[in-house]
């Protein structure tokens, strides 16, 4: 991963990774991606600047032109604007961290702007389709307890707006769901989400049928796979793939789409955008505001279909 980098730069990368994990609570997959992004950037600089970089302090000489040259090379290699924006964010985070510790001003390099790209709008399901999905994942299961399990997971995604990782991160302590849950989401950010009676019943049905003693193992996973281990998120995705084929739904009907549907349907019902932001655990309101675009798009579809034309 860091072949060609000096020991000093490798050490800086490792300590930055430790900071992201311990202080910012980044997930392991995110950490690996960020380290790879910055490693690629530093490797490019070694060729771009000829003599390379020996120490983190040498990054003080970087300017916006260096980052633009790297970005141009990435784009020439076929990288999308969206992926480049993510890589640039990782590089800037590393540069800020190094600058704070080495005592230099990184403003010149940090002034490089990222590429513009159109943010993909979430693709929620209609209310009837979301409810049908819950029933369909249960109907196709080969065993009663698996049917109850899949229905419980999908109900939590739609009923509480959980990410799939958050739902599958629940433990035996939540076998008897309370009226609300404290969820630790991205970046270690905690939020309180309501648990609807339907979700509580769905989880209770699953626990009663599950052949594994989930309630007796508080630290163990609540949702179990066929062999008793933690349920793999891919299994939920596969269950929804089969269900959407039977329901005639598009490929966008994924586990994450249930979370999108939760937010969109709350907004349609008059929910406050900031309250929805808190329920979803978004760090920025701008992320949640994507749902206003969805709502507006649907409104225009209705207008175009129903408005009388001359």
The reported pLDDT for the residue numbered 133 is 94
- Beta carbons within 10 angstroms of residue 76's beta carbon: 8
Q: Are 149 and 297 within one domain? A: yes
The reported pLDDT for the residue numbered 160 is 85
The reported pLDDT for the residue numbered 35 is 92
**Has residue 310 got a pLDDT over 50?**
no
Q: Are 186 and 283 in contact (CB under 8 A)?
A: yes
- Assess if residue 292 is contained within a domain: yes
- Assess if residue 122 is contained within a domain: no
The reported pLDDT for the residue numbered 299 is 46
**Has residue 223 got a pLDDT over 90?**
yes
How large is the angle between the packed helices 28-48 and 7-22, nearest 10 degrees?
Answer: 150
The encoded tokens of residue 297 equal: 């798009």
Average pLDDT over residues 109-120: 72
The reported pLDDT for the residue numbered 173 is 93
The reported pLDDT for the residue numbered 185 is 75
Query: What CATH number should be reported for the domain holding residue 103?
Result: 1.10.150.130
pLDDT band at 296; cut points 50, 70, 90: low
Q: Are 97 and 193 within one domain? A: no
- Assess if residue 115 is contained within a domain: no
pLDDT band at 49; cut points 50, 70, 90: confident
Catalytic residues: 163, 186, 256, 259, 282, 291
| Long-range pairs, 190-195, Cβ under 8 A, ≥24 | 191/278, 191/279, 191/281, 193/160, 193/161, 193/162, 193/279, 194/160, 194/279, 195/156, 195/159, 195/160
Of 58 and 246, more confident: 246
The reported pLDDT for the residue numbered 136 is 94
Q: Are 24 and 158 within one domain? A: no
**118-122, 146-150, 266-270 — most confident range:** 146-150
**Has residue 63 got a pLDDT over 70?**
yes
Of 22 and 65, more confident: 65
Q: Are 84 and 132 within one domain? A: no
Q: What percent of the chain has pLDDT over 90?
A: 38
The pLDDT tens digits of the residues spanning 258-287 come to 888 888 887 777 766 677 777 676 666 665
The reported pLDDT for the residue numbered 109 is 84
Greatest alpha-carbon pair distance for the chain in Å reads 73
The reported pLDDT for the residue numbered 98 is 92
Q: Are 180 and 257 within one domain? A: yes
Residues 6+ apart with CB under 8 A from 25: 186, 187, 188, 189
Query: What CATH number should be reported for the domain holding residue 142?
Result: 1.10.443.10
Q: In angstroms, rounded to a whole number, what is the distance separating the alpha carbons of residues 82 and 221? A: 34
Average pLDDT over residues 167-192: 85
Q: Are 249 and 136 within one domain? A: yes
Pick the range with the lowest mean pLDDT from 14-18, 153-157, 192-196.
192-196
**Has residue 85 got a pLDDT over 90?**
no
Q: Are 65 and 96 within one domain? A: yes
Q: Are 257 and 141 within one domain? A: yes
Number of domains in the chain: 2
Average pLDDT over residues 77-96: 89
Q: Which domain holds residue 46?
A: 7-110
Q: Compute φ and ψ for 184, nearest 5 degrees.
A: -100, 110
- Assess if residue 99 is contained within a domain: yes
Q: Are 295 and 153 within one domain? A: yes
Average pLDDT over residues 140-149: 94
**Has residue 91 got a pLDDT over 70?**
yes
């Amino acid at each position: 991963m860091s072949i060609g980098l000096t020991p000093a730069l490798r050490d800086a990368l490792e300590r930055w990774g430790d900071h992201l994990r311990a202080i910012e609570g980044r997930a392991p997959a995110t950490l690996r991606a960020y380290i790879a992004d910055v490693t690629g950037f530093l490797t490019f600089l070694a060729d771009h600047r000829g003599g390379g970089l020996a120490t983190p302090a040498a990054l003080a000489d970087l300017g916006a032109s260096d980052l633009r040259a790297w970005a141009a090379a990435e784009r020439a290699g076929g990288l999308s604007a969206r992926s480049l924006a993510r890589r640039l964010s990782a590089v800037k985070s590393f540069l800020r961290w190094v600058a704070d510790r080495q005592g230099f001003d990184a403003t010149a390099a940090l002034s490089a702007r990222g590429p513009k790209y159109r943010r993909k709008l979430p693709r929620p399901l209609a209310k009837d389709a979301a409810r049908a999905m819950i029933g369909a994942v249960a109907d196709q299961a080969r065993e009663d307890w698996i049917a109850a399990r899949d229905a419980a997971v999908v109900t939590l995604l739609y009923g509480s707006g959980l990410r799939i990782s958050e739902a599958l991160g629940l433990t035996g302590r939540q076998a008897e769901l309370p009226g609300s849950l404290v969820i630790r989401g991205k970046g270690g950010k905690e939020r309180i989400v309501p648990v609807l009676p339907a979700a509580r019943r769905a989880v209770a049905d699953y626990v009663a049928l599950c052949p594994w003693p989930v309630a007796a193992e508080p630290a163990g996973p609540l949702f179990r796979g066929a062999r008793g281990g933690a349920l793999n998120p891919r299994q939920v995705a596969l269950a929804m793939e089969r269900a959407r084929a039977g329901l005639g739904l598009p490929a966008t009907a994924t586990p994450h789409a249930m979370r999108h549907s939760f937010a969109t349907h709350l907004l349609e019902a008059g929910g406050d955008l900031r309250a929805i932001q808190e329920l979803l655990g978004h760090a920025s309101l701008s992320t949640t505001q994507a749902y206003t675009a969805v709502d507006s798009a649907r409104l225009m579809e209705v207008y175009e279909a129903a408005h009388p034309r001359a």
